[in-house]
Chain A
Amino acid sequence: MDHDSGQLSIDLTIGFAVFMIGFIFVVTLMGGLLVGLQSKTIDYDAVAYRTSVILVEDPGEPRVNLYAVNPDPLDLSWEQIDDPVQITRLGLLYSKEHPGVLSGEKIKRFFTPGEFTNEEYKDKLLLSEPGQYPYHFHINLSGYPNAGNTWIVEDTNPPASTGYMKRAVLIKGYSMPITLDNPVEYVNVTLPLSGIQSDRGGLYGIYPRFEPIEIFIDASRLGPALLPIDLTDVFLTPPDDYSFVYEEKVPVRIDGASTSDDSYTMSVNEVNDTIHLRFEPGYFSGYSIEDVVLHFQFAPPIPPFDDLDETYVPPPLTIATLEVSIW
């Protein structure tokens, strides 16, 4: 009997030791199994995805409803507000009725250097309190306004490994190119302010209250024999009476020269290359709803020549790629 109880206690000791070794083995192993769940890359990819959703699928805040029946003339979209404090969120979507189409104006404001500080980008994009989530970001948009162009916003250079999201988008631009192939005295551009929204719908029309109208005249094709040409006047008239000239100054830039907003006075100007004309959003708010015709008058060339008549239409939607890196 004595021997039996002695044997049992040895069995128990060995069994317990084996169990403990096994238990320690399993506990050690579990730590290793959980390592995969601690990975930071998943988190950064999710933040990059969230940021891309804010940029591509959201029109930002404040925003305007393009299809409002009685729009409040004081409503402004965020890209028209100068003070960043009044902007809540930076979304690039043109309108929530048209998913996947970004606004060229919002892109211009968002990517222009100096418009926002890095802290403002973080507050209004990553939805974080200042300093709370110190994410770094690098956002680039390639393919707009032309295929080789890239816009970049970043706070520092990205490291080799970041959270990443790529989105393919369409962009609604506002710039209509006109090429001068032959000498002219007048280029008449009809701006169909009354009809173009209702006829075409938001995506293909223009909303002069919220969107600019841009016209590029490329004169360089005329060749060195005819250049420079003298631009003598730019003015606006109603469509039915070209002699009734509206008083407003017309915002013209010649050969890429920079100009401040109040220096639109026209005199005789030599044009070697391009004429760039941009009506800011709301420029035509005093014109009620009717069409206007924009006239470019040049010094009369040697006959024979024909005047060039055009109607403003927004350019086709541009294909572009937006990439977001977060780390």
Chain B
Amino acid sequence: MVGEEAQLYTIEGFAAAILIVVTAYLILNSTFILTPGDTHINDLQLEQLGNDVLRMMDTKNSFDSTAPNRYLQTQSYLEQWLSSNDPKLGFDPFVTQFQGYAGDSRLKLDAFMYYWDHGANRMGSYSLSPTIHSTSHEHYVTITKYVYLDNPGWDDPLGVSRTVLLEVQLWRD
């Protein structure tokens, strides 16, 4: 009688202690590992570079004094590209120019354009990359830029100018 009870208490004590230790370890571990701090700094680096490049692409390099109006005189590369009739054709030159501006030929991109579809009264999206890049997407960053477009050739009862959102997914290969 006496011996049995003693055995049980000891085993219970061991089990409880191990349970407490394991629980405490798991809790502490999961809490602190959530804020490693180092990986998102690298992402910030790439994100900032991407934002810089999109801003550069939305600034025209030189004044075009032969153009008929102010918008066209200072029309940026992004404005020109996105208001063309088929922007998909301009995606590869866009990537080349992006890499040149960033000074890094290893950068890979995907791009989408979001716009307000007046006919359907909802947000529409448009993939600018002609082929789907399904690999190497694990560590990409997303950068966005609003671009003001004005194409007199557009047949739209609500006017020929609009603002679209360009979203670029950027990663290093």
Which A residues have a C-beta under 8 Å from some C-beta of B? Answer: 3-4, 7-8, 10-11, 14-15, 18-19, 21-22, 25-26, 29-30, 33-34, 36-37, 39, 41-42, 45-46, 49, 56, 98-101, 142-143, 164-170, 200-201, 203-204, 313, 315-317, 319, 321
Contacts and interface: CB of A to CB of B under 8 A. Distances in A.
29 contacts: A3-B2, A7-B2, A14-B10, A14-B14, A15-B9, A18-B17, A19-B20, A21-B17, A22-B24, A33-B28, A34-B32, A36-B32, A100-B52, A100-B55, A101-B59, A165-B45, A167-B48, A168-B49, A168-B101, A169-B56, A170-B56, A170-B61, A204-B62, A204-B63, A316-B61, A317-B61, A317-B62, A319-B100, A319-B101
A215 B9 CA distance: 95
A168 B46 CA distance: 11
A115 B155 CA distance: 58
Interface residues of B, number: 41
Interface string B7-39: 001100110111011001100110010011110
B28 A201 contact: no
A236 B102 CA distance: 42
A10 B7 CA distance: 11
Contacts of A37: 32, 35, 37
B20 A10 contact: no
A115 to B, nearest CB: 26
Contact of A168 (B18, B35, B38, B53): B53
A165 B2 contact: no
List the 3 closest pairs (A to B, CB-CB), nearest first. A15-B13, A316-B62, A204-B63
A26 B24 contact: yes
Nearest to A15: B13
Interface of B: 2, 5-6, 9-10, 13-14, 16-18, 20-21, 24-25, 28-29, 32, 35-38, 41, 44-45, 48-49, 52-53, 55-56, 59, 61-63, 65, 73-74, 100-103
A100 B49 CA distance: 11
Contacts of B102: 168
B155 to A, nearest CB: 31
Contact of A165 (B18, B25, B48): B48
B interface, over-half SS:
helix
A29 B24 CA distance: 11
A21 to B, nearest CB: 8
B37 A168 contact: no
A98 to B, nearest CB: 7
A25 B25 CA distance: 9
Contacts of B37: 36-37, 39, 42
A51 B32 CA distance: 30
B7 to A, nearest CB: 10
A166 B10 contact: no
Given A165-B45, A168-B103, A33 B55 contact: no
Contacts of A18: 13-14, 17-18
Contacts of B101: 168, 319
For A168, A201, A319, the residue with the greatest tally of chain B CB atoms inside 10 Å of its CB is: A168
A42 B25 contact: no
Given A49-B44, A167-B49, A22 B18 contact: yes
B85 to A, nearest CB: 27
A14 B12 CA distance: 11
A33 B38 contact: no
